[in-house]
Amino acid sequence: MIAAQDLHTEFQFAQEAESQLSSDTDLEDPDGKNAKTGKGMAAKKGKKAIGDKAKGGGAGRACGVGRVNGHHQQNGMENMTLFEVVKMGKSATQSLVDDWIEAYKSNRDHALLDLINFFIQCSGCKGAVSGEMFRHMQNSEIIRKMTEEFDEDSGDYPFTMSGPQWKKFRISFCDFIAVLVRQCQYSIIYDEYMMDTVISLLTGLSDSQVRAFRHTSTLAAMKLMTALVNVALNLSINMDNTQRQYDAERNKVVAKRASDRLELLLQKRKELQENQDEIENMMNAIFKGVFVHRYRDAIAEIRASCIEEIGVWMKLYSDAFLNDSYLKYVGWTMHDKQGEVRLKCLGALQSLFHSRELGARLELFTSRFKDRIVSMTLDKEYDVAVQAIKLLTLVLQCSDEVLTAEDCESVYHLVYSAHRPIAVSAGEFLYKKLFSHQGPEEEGLPRRGRQSLNGSLIKTTVFFFLESELHEHGAYLVDSLWECGSELLKDWETMISLLLDEPVPGEEALTDRQETALVEIMLCVVRQACECHPPVGRGSGKRYCVDIDKVNNLLQIPKYFDLDIYTTGRLEKHLDALLRQIWEVQDKHTDTEVLEACSTTYHSLCNEEFTIFNRVNIARSQLLDELVDKFNRLLEDFLQEGGEPDEDDSYQVLATLKKISAFHNAHDLSKWDLFTGNYRLLNTGLQNGDMPEQIVIHAMQCTHYIILWHLAKVSDGSSLKGDMVTLRKQMRAFFLMCQRYLNSINNAVKEQAFTILCDLLLIFSHQIMSSGREQLEPLVYTPDSCLQAEMLNFILDQVFIDQDDDNNSTDGQPDDEASKIEDLHKRRNLLASYCKLIIYNVVDINMGADIFKQYMRYYNDYGDIIKETLSKTRQIDKVQCAKTLGLSLQMLFNEMLSELGFNVDRSTSAFCGIKELSRRFSLTFGLDQMKTREAIAMLHKDGIEFAFKEPSPQGQGSPPLNLAFLDILSEFSSKLIRQDKRTVHMYLERFMTVQMALQREDCWLPLISYRNSLQAGGDDDTMSVMSGISSRGSTRSKKSKQATASKRKLPEAEENSCSSSDAVWMNREQNAQTPLMIHSPHLTSTVLRDPKKMRPEDGYAAAFTMPTEQHPHQPSPLQQPPHHPHEAAIDYNTQVTWMLTQRQQAEARQQQERVSVHYAKMRNHMQQAIRRGSGLMEDDEEPIVEDVMMSSEDRLEDINEGMDFDTMDIDLPASKNRRERTELKPDFFDPSSIMDDSVLNVSMF
C-alpha cells in the first residue's frame, strides 16, 4: 500500500518472480499458481526488500519473444516505444494495453521501465531511463538527470504543440491511462509494485521546476485518479451486492441456509474491503501528493486540468468526494485570474447541479459561494459570464429559495446585453424564474385568450419591460426570450385579446402605458418572426465596432488597399460601405486612438492620384461639415449658459472637439473658422476657472493644429495677402494664452500648454527663415524672460520631483509599476522638449543651469537627456556652456548655504555632492585641452569672482562667504594648460591680501587647495611672491633654464594662430597687480609685437578682467594708460627693442624683490628657530610653510627650474602640531601625503 508520506521515496522494485501471473481479466486463478492465503479473488505479490531488483532491462524497449512493446514484429512496429505507438494512433488502445500486461507478466521490471520512459518521452524529453538508472538511482536523481536531457532551444512539448496530430495524441494519452487501470483492476494494481512505482514517479515529476514534466505528470496523475475512482466505484457496488447477498442468505431459515456460501460471501466481502482500502490509499496519495499542490500551479492549463478532474470525481463517486473537503477547492478557484480555469469551475458545478439529488447536497457550498457565482455573470470573459448564468439557472431549478430577489435582478438586466449568448442565457433564466411556475389554480385555464395562462405571462412580460425602463430596447428583450419562449411570444391571439377585450369583473385593465408597451413588444415579435435575424448589434456574426483594440487595428488595413480596384472592378458599393463603416465608428467612439485611426484612413483614401478621390472627398466634407456645425451649435449653448457647465453639455462638446482635433491632425480644416471658437473656449476657461480639463486640453490641441496648417499655407505661398498678418496675430495671441495656462492649477492642462509652447517656440524660432524663407521673418517669435522663467519653473516643479511625491494616483490608490513607468516616460518627454529649446538656442543657454545642476541627483531618470543637452550646448558655444556649468554649481552652493548656514562643513553630503558634480562636469570637457582652453579659463574666472563676491558676515579677518567654492572649482584645474594656470593664479592673487596669503586655519583650506592646484606644473614667472617664499630655490644654470624654455615652444603655425590674442594677454599679464609686487611699467602697445617672439604660454589673459565693483579684500586694479595716436608712428624695430628692454628690466626688479623678501622671511624663521631651540617639538607653533602641493617629483623639478636664487637648507624636526594635522587633514598640511621619500628629503625652507 501507499501512504501519502511515502511519495518521495526511491523506486521500490521486487526481485523477478519465478511464477507467472495469470490473465488479469479472470476473477479466479484456475491453476492456483498465484493463489494467496486468504485471497480467492485476485493474486497478490508481496513486496521484496529494497535492493532486491530484477536484472536486465532496456531503455524503453519492451521484452518478449517476437514482440516489441507488446506488438508483433509483423505489424511493422519493430523497436518502437510506447510513446511512438501512442503518437501514431494506428493501434487500438485496448490491444496495446493487453500486450503491455503480457510483457509485465513476463518481466515486470522491463515493462515498468517502458512505462516510465513513456511518461518521460511524453514530456518532450530526449533522454531515456536506462536499466542501470532504474535499479540504482532514486526519483530525484533520475528526474535531475532527465532534466539535463531537455532541448534548451525550444520550450515546446507534446501537450503544447498545435496541430491535429498532437490533439489526437492528448486524447490517446488519456485513453491509454484509463484503459491501463481498467485492465489491471483485478490483480496487478494490488501487487504493491506497479502502482507504487507509477504514483511515486508521477508525484516526483509533478514537483519538478520543468514545466513539461509538471504538466505531463499532473495530467497523467489526474487521469490515473479518475480511473481509480471508477475502480473504487465498482468495488463499492460489488461490496453492496455481496452484502445484500450475504444478508439474504443469512436471513434464510437454518435448514435452508448454506454455510459454505456464507463463508464464501464473507471472504469475498473481506477481500473487496481490502481492495477498497488499497484503492483509497492510492487515491489519497495522488490527491495529497499532486492535486493539492498543482491546483494552484503557475500554469493555467495545469490548474484547469485539476479542477476539471475533481468535478468528474465528485460526480462519479459522490459518496466519497461530494463534501466540503473537496468542494472548497472548486470554490476557491472560481477567483482564478484566468478565464479558462474559471470556466472549468463552472463546468464542474454545472455537472453537479444537473442532478437534483446532488444539487440538494450543495446547500452549504451554494450559500458560501453564491455571491461569487452571481458576480461572475459580469465576468470580462463572455464565455465565463454565459456559463455563470447557466449555472444560476440550474441552481434555480434545484431550489427556488437559494437566490434572493437581488440576485435575480442582477441577472434580469442582462437580457439587454449586446452580447447575444449572454442575453439568451439571461432570457432563459428570466423565463425559468417568471414563466415556468404553474400553480394548481392555473391548471383549468383555457389555452388561448385573455383568461388563459399565456395572458397572465404576457402581462408579466409587459410589467418587466416597463420596470426595466428601457423602452427603446423591446427588440432586444424579444430576442433574448426567443429561443426559450417563442411559443409564448407568438401567441398574438392572446395579445390582441388583451388589447381589445373588456376585462372580466375583478380583473385589472391595462393602463395606457402598458398597452403601448404591449404594442411595441408585439411589433418586435412580428419583425423577429418575419426577418429571422436578431436586432442591430446582436447579429449572429461577430461585430468589432465597439471593441477599441480590434477596430483600431482594422482601420489600419485600408491603407494597404489597391484603391484602383474599386473603379476597375466596379466595386463602388463596397467603397460606400467602407465609408459608412468609418462614419459609424467615429460616431460611436470618443477614444482618441480610434478617432485618429479614422482620420488617417480618410487621409489614405483621399489621394488625388486615384479616381475614387472625388467620392471619398465628398464623404469627408460631409462628415466634417456635420462635426463643425455641431461644434459651433454646442459651443454657443455652452458659453451662454453661465455658471457651472452642465455635465451632459460638457460631454457633447468634448466628444465633438476630440473628433475635430483628430481630423485636423491629418486634414486641412482652414476653410472652417475654428480658431475663433476654440480661442473663446480657452479664454472663458481662464476667466471662469471651471472649464473641464479635457475640453481645455483638446481646445489647445485643436488651436495648435489650426496655426500649423495656417503656417503651411503661408510657407508654400498659397495663402492670400493678409494671411501672414492674421497668422502673426493668432500665433502671438495663442502664445500668451498658453503662457497664462502654465499657471493653471490642473497638472494635465499645464503639461499640454507647456508641450505646445515648446513645439511652437521651435517652429517660430529664427530657424523658420532658413532654406530661403526670409519672407517669414515677421513670424519669428522670441520668448521674453518672463516666459522663459515660467517654463523653467514648470520643469523644476513637474519633472524634477522625488518618486515619493508622485507615487499616488489622483484617487489615492498607489500606482502600479506600469503607471510609474508611464509617468516617468511623460516627464522625460517634457524635459526633452525643454532641452531642445536650449540646444536650438531658442532660450538662453544659461537657462540650462537649473537643468545641469540636477545631473547627479536624477542621473538614473534623466542622466542621458542632460548629458546630451550638455554636449549639444558645448557645440554651440563652448565659453557660454562653461559659464552655465559654473552658474549651476554656484546655484547649488547658494542653496547649500541657505540650508546649512554660513559655516560650511566640507564633509557634509551636500558639499560632497556638489564637488562630485563638478568632477563629472570636468570629465565632460574631454582630453583635448586646447579646444576647451578659453571655456575652462572663463569658468575659473567666474568661479573666482563668485568666491570673493560676498564678504564674510563675521567681519574683517574671516574668509569670504563663498570661499569654500574654490574647493569645488579646483576640480577644473586639471583641465587648464600650464600657461593658463599661471594666468588664473595671477588673477586669483588680485583678489587676495597679504593676510589671506598667510592664513592657515581650516576655514582657509579651500583657498590653499585651489592655489596649490593652480601652481602645480606652473612656470617660474607664474609664481607669486607668496608662493616663491615657501618654494625651494634652485641653483640650476641659466643654460639649463634656456634649454627648458626651448622645449616648451610650440610649432610656428600654432604660434601664429595665437599671436593676435597673445598680445592682449601679455598686456594684461604685465599690468596685473599682485600683493607684494612692484608695479611693472605699462607697455604702450602690444599690437605691433613680433609674432615670432611670442610664447604660447601667454594666452587668454584677456578674459580675466576685474569686475567693476571692488571687493573689500582685493586691491584696486591698475588703470590702463591712455593710448596716444602719435605712438603708432614709431619705428617697428625700435618698438620691439624697447619692449624687450622694458620687460627684462621689469623681470629683474621683480626678481630682486622676491630675493629680498625671501631673505627677510628666512631670516625671521631662523631667528624663531634659534629662539625656540630644542623646545620646537613640544610647542604647538611651527614654521610657516607656503609650499605648493605637487603630485610628483617632476612637478617639483619644474618649479625648481624657475628659481634662480639661492636658498638655505635647514632641516627641522616635525612639530607636534604637524603630526596632529597629518592625522586630521593630511591632504592640506603634510607634503608627505602626496610626495615620495625622495621629494621629502629636499628641504622645504
Cα–Cα dist 942/936, whole Å: 10
Least confident of 650-654, 795-799, 838-842, 1156-1160: 1156-1160
CA distances from 342 to 225, 253, 313, 348, 387 (A): 22, 59, 18, 10, 10
Q: Side chain identity at 1003, as an amino acid letter?
A: C
Chain-centroid distance, C-alpha 838: 29
pLDDT at 17: 34
- Banded pLDDT at 594 (limits 50, 70, 90): very high
728 contact partners, CB below 8 Å, separation of at least 6: 778, 779
Beta bridge partner(s), residue 852:
none
Asked whether the predicted pLDDT for residue 1053 surpasses 70, the reply is no
Mean pLDDT, rounded, for 195-202: 91
Q: What is the mean pLDDT of residues 247-261?
A: 82
CA distances (Å), 549 to each of 75, 462, 468, 582, 592, in order?
55, 38, 31, 15, 12
Report d(CA 352, CA 361) in Å as an integer: 10
C-alpha cell at 1021: 614667472
Residue 388 predicted with pLDDT over 90: yes
Three-state SS across 361-412?
A: CCHHHHHHHHHHHHHHHHCCCHHHHHHHHHHHHHHHHHCCCCCCHHHHHHHH
pLDDT at 61: 37
Task: Quote the percentage of the chain above a pLDDT of 90.
Answer: 28
Least confident of 123-127, 299-303, 321-325, 1162-1166: 1162-1166
Q: Which of 1083, 1089, 1084, 1085 shows the shortest CA–CA distance to 1056? A: 1089
The arithmetic mean of pLDDT across residues 1144-1156, rounded, is 67
Exposure b/e, 86-111, CB count within 10 A at least 16 = b: bbeeebebeebbbbbbbbbbbbbbbb
Contact 837, 762 (CB under 8 A): yes
Q: Give CA separation, 774 vs 127, 397, 438, 766, 777, in Å.
A: 77, 84, 90, 10, 6
pLDDT of residue 170: 87
Q: Does 205 score more than 50 pLDDT?
A: yes
Measured distance CA(55)–CA(344) in Å, rounded: 46
Q: Which residue type is seen at 98? A: D
Q: Tell me how far the alpha carbon of residue 102 is from its chain's centroid.
A: 59
Arithmetic mean of pLDDT, 770-799: 90
Mean pLDDT of 1182-1209: 34
The pLDDT of residue 487: 85
pLDDT at residue 74 greater than cutoff 50: no
**Per-residue 3-state assignment (H helix, E strand, C coil) for 728-763:** HHHHHHHHHHHHHHCCCCCHHHHHHHHHHHHHHHHH
Closest CA to 1061 of 1081, 1091, 1082: 1091
Q: Please say if the pLDDT value at position 375 is more than 90.
A: yes
Q: What pLDDT is attached to residue 44?
A: 34
d(CA 858, CA 851): 10
Instruction: Quote the pLDDT of residue 343.
Output: 94
Cβ(414)–Cβ(476) below 8 Å = no
Q: What angle do CA 557, 562, 568 make, to 5 degrees?
A: 140
Provide CB contacts within 8 A for 655, sequence distance 6+: 590
Q: Please state which of the ranges 363-377, 550-564, 1200-1214 shows the lowest mean pLDDT.
A: 1200-1214
pLDDT at 221: 94
Report whether 379 contacts 342 (CB < 8 A).
yes
Helices 785-798, 817-839: axis angle to 10 degrees equals: 160
Share the mean pLDDT of the chain: 75
Per-position b or e across 498-537, b if 16+ CB within 10 A of its CB: beeeeeeeeeeebeeebeebbebbbebbeebeeeeebbee
Range list of H helices, 107-159:
108-122, 131-136, 139-147
Taking a C-beta distance cutoff of 8 angstroms, is the pair 623, 586 a contact?
yes
| pLDDT (0 to 100) of residue 1162 | 60
> Of the given ranges (31-40, 697-706, 931-940), which has the lowest mean pLDDT?
31-40
Residue 748, C-alpha cell as written in the block: 494635465
Alpha carbon 472 to its chain's center: 45
Nearest to 64 by CA among 130, 17, 110: 110
Residue 1120, SS3?
A: coil
Burial class (CB in 10 A: 0-12, 13-18, 19+), 1133: exposed
For residues 1175 and 95, give the distance between their C-alpha atoms in angstroms, rounded to a whole number.
114
Q: Comparing 343 with 1174, which gets the higher pLDDT?
A: 343
Is 967's pLDDT higher than 80?
yes
| DSSP three-state, residue 123 | coil
d(CA 1169, CA 571): 112
Report the pLDDT averaged over residues 284-310: 93
Q: Which three cell numbers stand for residue 494?
A: 392572446
Length reported for the chain: 1245
- 227/70: higher pLDDT: 227
| The pLDDT value given to residue 94 | 85
pLDDT value of residue 951: 83
Are 1025 and 1153 in contact by the 8 Å Cβ rule? The answer is yes
What is the amino acid identity at position 489? L
Other CB atoms within 10 A of residue 1056 CB: 13
Tell me how far the alpha carbon of residue 861 is from its chain's centroid. Answer: 13
Backbone torsions φ then ψ of 579, nearest 5 degrees:
-65, -35
* Strand, coil or helix: 948: coil
Using an 8 Å Cβ cutoff, are 290 and 309 in contact? no
Cβ proximity of 521 and 477 under 8 Å: yes
What long-range pairs does 257-264 form, CB within 8 A, spacing at least 24?
264/40
Does the pLDDT of residue 1028 top 50, yes or no? no
Backbone angles phi, psi at 67, to 5 degrees: -135, 150
Spatial contact of 158 and 169, defined as CB atoms under 8 Å apart? yes
Crossing angle for the helix pair 363-375 and 382-398, to the nearest 10 degrees: 150
Provide mean pLDDT across the span 115-142. Answer: 84
**DSSP per-residue string spanning 892-915:** HHHHHHHHH-SS--TTSHHHHHHH
Lowest-pLDDT range of 653-667, 862-876, 1156-1170: 1156-1170
Say if residues 306 and 222 touch (Cβ distance below 8 Å). Answer: yes
Q: What is the pLDDT of residue 13?
A: 34
Which is higher by pLDDT, 347 or 1113? 347
